[in-house]
Protein backbone atom coordinates (compact mmCIF):
# COMPACT_ATOMS: atom_id res chain seq x y z
CA UNK A 1 0.00 0.00 0.00
CA UNK A 2 1.55 3.29 -1.04
CA UNK A 3 1.35 6.61 0.74
CA UNK A 4 -1.50 7.85 -1.47
CA UNK A 5 -3.77 4.98 -0.55
CA UNK A 6 -3.04 5.46 3.13
CA UNK A 7 -3.88 9.17 2.91
CA UNK A 8 -7.01 8.63 0.85
CA UNK A 9 -8.30 6.10 3.34
CA UNK A 10 -7.92 8.67 6.08
CA UNK A 11 -9.61 11.53 4.27
CA UNK A 12 -13.02 10.88 5.80
CA UNK A 13 -11.63 10.89 9.31
CA UNK A 14 -9.48 13.88 8.37
CA UNK A 15 -12.55 15.87 7.33
CA UNK A 16 -14.32 14.92 10.53
CA UNK A 17 -11.30 15.97 12.56
CA UNK A 18 -11.03 12.46 13.95
CA UNK A 19 -7.33 11.95 13.25
CA UNK A 20 -4.68 12.42 15.86
CA UNK A 21 -2.62 15.56 15.47
CA UNK A 22 0.26 13.52 14.10
CA UNK A 23 -1.89 11.70 11.54
CA UNK A 24 -3.53 14.96 10.53
CA UNK A 25 -0.16 16.57 9.94
CA UNK A 26 0.90 13.64 7.79
CA UNK A 27 -2.21 14.05 5.66
CA UNK A 28 -1.63 17.82 5.50
CA UNK A 29 1.92 17.36 4.28
CA UNK A 30 0.93 14.73 1.75
CA UNK A 31 -1.93 16.79 0.37
CA UNK A 32 0.40 19.75 -0.07
CA UNK A 33 2.86 17.68 -2.07
CA UNK A 34 0.53 15.38 -4.00
CA UNK A 35 -1.77 16.83 -6.67
CA UNK A 36 -3.63 13.58 -7.16
CA UNK A 37 -4.58 13.20 -3.49
CA UNK A 38 -5.39 16.89 -3.23
CA UNK A 39 -7.88 16.60 -6.09
CA UNK A 40 -9.38 13.48 -4.51
CA UNK A 41 -9.61 15.38 -1.24
CA UNK A 42 -11.33 18.36 -2.91
CA UNK A 43 -13.87 16.08 -4.65
CA UNK A 44 -14.46 14.29 -1.41
CA UNK A 45 -14.98 17.50 0.52
CA UNK A 46 -17.37 18.86 -2.13
CA UNK A 47 -19.36 15.61 -2.11
CA UNK A 48 -19.60 15.69 1.65
CA UNK A 49 -20.77 19.32 1.59
CA UNK A 50 -23.46 18.40 -0.97
CA UNK A 51 -24.68 15.51 1.16
CA UNK A 52 -24.79 17.74 4.19
CA UNK A 53 -26.88 20.26 2.23
CA UNK A 54 -29.27 17.50 1.20
CA UNK A 55 -29.64 16.25 4.74
CA UNK A 56 -30.08 19.65 6.27
CA UNK A 57 -31.53 21.99 3.67
CA UNK A 58 -31.39 24.96 5.98
CA UNK A 59 -32.68 28.09 4.33
CA UNK A 60 -30.19 30.91 4.36
CA UNK A 61 -30.90 34.00 6.41
CA UNK A 62 -31.90 35.90 3.26
CA UNK A 63 -34.37 33.18 2.30
CA UNK A 64 -35.84 33.20 5.79
CA UNK A 65 -36.38 36.94 5.82
CA UNK A 66 -37.98 36.64 2.37
CA UNK A 67 -40.38 34.03 3.71
CA UNK A 68 -41.13 36.09 6.79
CA UNK A 69 -41.65 39.22 4.71
CA UNK A 70 -44.06 37.24 2.53
CA UNK A 71 -46.06 36.16 5.55
CA UNK A 72 -46.11 39.66 6.99
CA UNK A 73 -47.15 41.11 3.66
CA UNK A 74 -49.99 38.60 3.25
CA UNK A 75 -51.16 39.05 6.84
CA UNK A 76 -51.12 42.83 6.52
CA UNK A 77 -52.98 42.71 3.24
CA UNK A 78 -55.52 40.30 4.73
CA UNK A 79 -56.05 42.60 7.68
CA UNK A 80 -56.40 45.55 5.31
CA UNK A 81 -59.11 43.76 3.34
CA UNK A 82 -60.88 42.73 6.52
CA UNK A 83 -60.92 46.29 7.87
CA UNK A 84 -61.98 47.69 4.51
CA UNK A 85 -64.78 45.15 4.00
CA UNK A 86 -65.89 45.30 7.63
CA UNK A 87 -66.06 49.10 7.66
CA UNK A 88 -67.85 49.18 4.30
CA UNK A 89 -70.44 46.63 5.43
CA UNK A 90 -71.12 48.52 8.67
CA UNK A 91 -71.47 51.83 6.78
CA UNK A 92 -73.79 50.35 4.16
CA UNK A 93 -76.00 48.64 6.74
CA UNK A 94 -76.14 51.81 8.82
CA UNK A 95 -76.89 53.88 5.70
CA UNK A 96 -79.72 51.58 4.66
CA UNK A 97 -81.10 51.56 8.18
CA UNK A 98 -80.91 55.34 8.54
CA UNK A 99 -82.43 55.85 5.11
CA UNK A 100 -85.22 53.29 5.63
CA UNK A 101 -86.20 54.79 8.97
CA UNK A 102 -85.81 58.47 8.00
CA UNK A 103 -89.30 60.03 8.20
CA UNK A 104 -88.23 62.85 5.84
CA UNK A 105 -87.82 60.41 2.94
CA UNK A 106 -90.93 59.94 0.85
CA UNK A 107 -92.26 56.40 0.58
CA UNK A 108 -91.71 56.03 -3.19
CA UNK A 109 -88.14 57.35 -2.89
CA UNK A 110 -87.51 54.84 -0.16
CA UNK A 111 -88.87 52.00 -2.28
CA UNK A 112 -86.89 53.12 -5.34
CA UNK A 113 -83.58 53.44 -3.48
CA UNK A 114 -84.08 50.18 -1.61
CA UNK A 115 -84.89 48.50 -4.95
CA UNK A 116 -81.59 49.82 -6.38
CA UNK A 117 -79.67 48.61 -3.34
CA UNK A 118 -81.40 45.24 -3.53
CA UNK A 119 -80.57 45.06 -7.23
CA UNK A 120 -76.88 45.77 -6.57
CA UNK A 121 -76.82 43.16 -3.82
CA UNK A 122 -78.45 40.58 -6.12
CA UNK A 123 -75.97 41.29 -8.93
CA UNK A 124 -73.11 41.03 -6.46
CA UNK A 125 -74.44 37.72 -5.15
CA UNK A 126 -74.85 36.24 -8.66
CA UNK A 127 -71.32 37.31 -9.58
CA UNK A 128 -70.08 35.75 -6.37
CA UNK A 129 -72.04 32.56 -7.09
CA UNK A 130 -70.60 32.40 -10.64
CA UNK A 131 -67.12 32.85 -9.25
CA UNK A 132 -67.60 30.09 -6.69
CA UNK A 133 -69.11 27.82 -9.34
CA UNK A 134 -66.23 28.28 -11.79
CA UNK A 135 -63.74 27.91 -8.95
CA UNK A 136 -65.34 24.60 -8.06
CA UNK A 137 -65.24 23.54 -11.74
CA UNK A 138 -61.57 24.40 -12.02
CA UNK A 139 -60.83 22.34 -8.97
CA UNK A 140 -62.83 19.46 -10.37
CA UNK A 141 -60.95 19.69 -13.70
CA UNK A 142 -57.65 19.54 -11.85
CA UNK A 143 -58.75 16.40 -10.09
CA UNK A 144 -59.83 14.82 -13.38
CA UNK A 145 -56.47 15.41 -15.10
ZN1 LIG B 1 -1.01 11.19 -2.88
Residue-wise pLDDT for 76-132, tens only, equals: 888 888 898 999 999 988 888 887 788 887 878 888 888 888 899 999 999 888 888
| Ligand 1 mean position, distance from CA 134 (Å) | 68
- pLDDT at res. 138: 61
| Ligand 1 mean position, distance from CA 38 (Å) | 7
- pLDDT at res. 1: 57
Structural domain boundaries, residue 41: 3-55
Domain for residue 39, yes or no?
A: yes
| Ligand 1 mean position, distance from CA 55 (Å) | 30
To the question of pTM greater than 0.75 for the whole model, the response is no
Q: How many helices (H) and strands (E) does the chain have?
A: 5, 0
User: Phi and psi (nearest 5°) for 101?
Assistant: -105, 0
* Same-domain check for residues 44 and 106: no
Identify the burial level of 7 via C-beta atoms within 10 angstroms of its C-beta, where 0-12 means exposed, 13-18 middle and 19 or more buried: buried
User: Phi and psi (nearest 5°) for 19?
Assistant: -80, 155
Domain for residue 65, yes or no?
A: no
Domain for residue 62, yes or no?
A: no
- pLDDT at res. 143: 54
* Same-domain check for residues 41 and 97: no
Scored b (16 or more CB within 10 A) or e, 86-112 reads eeeeeeeeeeeeeeeeeeeeeeeeeee
* Same-domain check for residues 44 and 90: no
The count of structural domains within the chain is 2
Amino acid sequence: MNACNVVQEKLSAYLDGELTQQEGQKVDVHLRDCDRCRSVFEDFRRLRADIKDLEYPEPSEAEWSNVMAGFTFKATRGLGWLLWAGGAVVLVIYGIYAFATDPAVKAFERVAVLAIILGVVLVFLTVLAERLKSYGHDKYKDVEK
